[in-house]
Amino acid sequence: MDPFKNLASLLDFRMSGHAASALSGVPSELGTMTASGLKLDGFKHEIQDYLVADWRATLRLPAFTMTGTVSGLKDGDGRDVQGSGSFAFQAAEVEEAELMFKNGLKPGDRVLAVPVAGGSEAVVLCKVVKGNA
């Protein structure tokens, strides 16, 4: 029997056990936003002092064209210009784009949260919807 295979097998077994126990210490659960806070499915009290994850990322926009209307522009003689047309946008990257979904959370919205501080507080990670919604 190869001692290196035994060692590799033992290390693999131990690491998978440690990973499982580490993840079990960070339970996430579903909750529902209320008019005054957050109600987790597995916690009987509403949490009013909840936190929301701050998602910042680089936003990449492909080149695209939109059709729309324009108003408020002036021609060379200072006269108003308005009408409709196509607007072409070049590809761009926006650094430090902030996803501010906290302002968009409404009572009844389902969210994924991680309870902290013994369950008296929670961090809302994201809003969740059914796959066919």
Phi, psi (deg, nearest 5) at residue 90:
-80, 160
Which DSSP letter does residue 42 get?
Answer: T
Phi, psi (deg, nearest 5) at residue 130:
-65, 150
What six digits make up the tokens of 33? 């936003």
pTM of the model: 0.58
| Angle, alpha carbons 31-98-41 (nearest 5°) | 5
Q: What pLDDT band is residue 18 in, cutting at 50, 70 and 90?
A: very low
The C-alpha atoms of residue 8 and residue 12 are separated, in whole angstroms, by: 6
- Overall average pLDDT of the 1-22 stretch: 54
Given a cut of 60, is residue 7 above it in pLDDT? no
Q: What pLDDT band is residue 66 in, cutting at 50, 70 and 90?
A: very high
**Model pLDDT for residues 79-106, shown as the tens digit of each residue:** 998 889 899 999 999 998 887 778 889 9
HSE-CB for 49 with a 13 A CA cutoff:
5
